[in-house]
Amino acid sequence: MSAIDAENRILETNNRQRLYNLGNRLWHTDSSFKRLPAYCSMLHARSIPPIGGHTEFADMRAAYDALPDSTKERIAGLVAEHSIMTSRGKLGFKDFDESERAAFAPVPQVLVRRLPDSGRMSLYIASHAGAIRGMPDDEARQLIDELTAHATQRQFVHAHRWRENDLVIWDNRCTMHRGMEFDDQRYKRDMRRATVSDVAPTCEQMGLAVAAE
């Protein structure tokens, strides 16, 4: 995402928006922390740094296909809790007021989803995922970490190296992505994103009746 303010100035080191945006360097799926998550995203490069700042994408369909059958059976029907406070907390960002904490309360998302257009199964995880319903927290974190490590092996990952005016569109239902590091105190990076919402919550799409908590 962009590392500049509305006046095209580089964000200062301790700027709240900059610290918040650092979470985009973790593997994530756009808006999985919302009850109605993202379907697709479009990112347009207006200005880019000369070094670093590319974006990596992981194919969660191929990652699911490569899982052992025992793991597929273990994760079938599981529901994870997603919150943007979970991902930001991993980087030490906990500067949320009470209204934000209420707005960012965890939402349920399936761990595995079927894509309605192709019928393929896909992992649906992100750095926003914390707890898994019905599972001890330590076990849940370990499982999410193991699935993330599996899904981000090099054979499942494409790195896009930006050029000015590039426009990249991706399907959030079956990919994770992350922005790579660059010297954001030296170089400007101006990226403009638009996101299209999915048609229904993931649990509803998978036919699971899941109550909010």
Which whole number is the average pLDDT over 184-207?
95
pLDDT band at 1; cut points 50, 70, 90: low
Write down the pLDDT at residue 72.
98
pLDDT above 90: residue 151: yes
pLDDT band at 213; cut points 50, 70, 90: low
Among 5, 156, 181, 152, which residue's Cα sits nearest to residue 91? 181
Which whole number is the average pLDDT over 61-85?
98
Write down the pLDDT at residue 182.
95
In residues, how long is the chain? 213
pLDDT band at 79; cut points 50, 70, 90: very high
For residue 68, report the phi and psi dihedrals to the nearest 5 degrees.
-65, 150
What tens digit of pLDDT does each residue of 3-39 get? 888 888 988 898 888 988 889 999 999 999 999 999 9
Which whole number is the average pLDDT over 166-193?
96
Q: How far apart are the first and last CA of the chain?
A: 31
Please tell me the least confidently modeled range out of 38-42, 90-94, 133-137.
90-94
pLDDT above 90: residue 209: no
Write down the pLDDT at residue 17.
84
C-beta separation of 32 from 111 below 8 A: no
Q: What DSSP assignment string belongs to 142-190? A: HHHHHHHHHHTSGGGEEEE---TT-EEEEETTSEEEEEPP--TTTS--E
pLDDT band at 211; cut points 50, 70, 90: low
Has this prediction a pTM greater than 0.85? yes
Among 58, 54, 47, 49, which residue's Cα sits nearest to residue 161? 54
